[in-house]
Amino acid sequence: MHRPLEGERPPRGGVLDPVVRSVLDVQDEVRAAFGWSLDADRASAEAACTMLDGNAPCGRPSWSPSARTHHLEALRRVVLEASAVVVVGAAASERDVRSACTPEAVVVAADGAAGAVGLDLPLVAVVSDLDGAEHLERAVRRAPTLVLHAHGDNIERWRERLPAWSADVHPLPLVLTHQTPSPLAGAENPGGFTDGDRAVCLLLALGVPAERLTLVGFATGHVGPWSGSTDPDKKRAKLRWMADVLQRLGMPLLNGDEH
């Protein structure tokens, strides 16, 4: 895969640096393509950082900014020690995931695709902008690291779910991500656009070699069964951007459109 040249990495914004600059640039390109507002993305991310500031946000010391950094570093250790990391997209079947899981592999799911991860498999993280509906609700009760993404179109969802989960789900390690070009204290921008390609960006930024990633259920030609309620045409357009991000990273699409 492409590795950054000397001087190619952008300034640090949080703990992580994106692997290549273009996975950040794509966020501006997507906003322009769909007519979305950077101000809305920034407002959502800043509001999430404000809600999750302090020593015990939502009554949870484990959600504080320092604790979130700890959770990210703990996730880094887990994925670096694993023999492989299976990244599960919305077109995956449980059989696909099970077949891809070699001994000592761990699993990272994109939002509702956690529903394709059997209860006996090591689900270590879910990367989500919270449109995974009941599949995501079931997943968070398994207490993986929740990599929660704040953007302009989901502010009401995270404002509703975070207080609910703080009361109902224990423990739930939390990491916060955003998609704005400016660094935000307490949040990360590993790059990417959809939950699936953002999960890949995150893992590469954590230092997982590309050859140890296995992508399952990353389809571009149809909307996967684990996607939340959405307009099919708009979703397919988003999936084409997902494929574009993966191409920029030098990652192939595997086990997606053929299922």
Distance CA 46, CA 52 (A): 10
Distance CA 210, CA 166 (A): 34
Domain that holds residue 165: 22-249
Average pLDDT over every residue of 156-172: 94
pLDDT at 257: 45
pLDDT at 85: 98
Does residue 28 lie in a domain region?
yes
Does residue 9 lie in a domain region?
no
Does residue 213 lie in a domain region?
yes
Q: What pLDDT, in 10s, does the model give residues 183-236?
A: 999 999 999 999 999 999 999 999 999 999 999 999 876 665 666 656 677 878
Does residue 185 lie in a domain region?
yes
pLDDT at 170: 86
Does residue 49 lie in a domain region?
yes
Residue 255 predicted with pLDDT over 80: no
Q: Quote the tokens at residue 170.
A: 């224990």
Report the SS3 class of residue 139: helix
Distance CA 79, CA 81 (A): 5
Residue 239 CB coordination number (10 Å): 28
Residue 39 predicted with pLDDT over 50: yes
Average pLDDT over every residue of 48-72: 97
Quote the number of domains for the chain: 1
Residue with tokens 């086990």: 255
Report the SS3 class of residue 86: strand
- Angle subtended at Cα 126 by Cα 182 and Cα 130, rounded to the nearest 5 degrees: 70
Identify the sign of the CA torsion 253, 255, 257, 258. Answer: positive
Residue 81 CB partners (closer than 8 Å, separation 6+): none
pLDDT at 228: 61
Nearest CA-CA partner of 144 in 182, 195, 115, 109: 109
Residue 94 CB partners (closer than 8 Å, separation 6+): 116, 117, 118
Does residue 181 lie in a domain region?
yes
CATH of the domain at 109: 3.90.1480
Q: What is the pTM of this model?
A: 0.91
Mean pLDDT (the chain, rounded): 89
Burial 205-234 (b: 16+ CB within 10 A, else e): bbebebeebbbbbbbbebbbbbbbeeeeee
Q: Based on the number of CB atoms within 10 Å of its own CB, is 8 exposed (0-12), middle (13-18) or buried (19 or more)?
A: middle
pLDDT at 1: 34
Question: Of 38-42, 225-229, 250-254, which has the strongest mean pLDDT?
Answer: 38-42
Angle separating helix axes 195-205 and 232-249, nearest 10 degrees: 20
Does residue 16 lie in a domain region?
no
Does residue 4 lie in a domain region?
no
Beta carbons of 16 and 202 less than 8 angstroms apart: yes
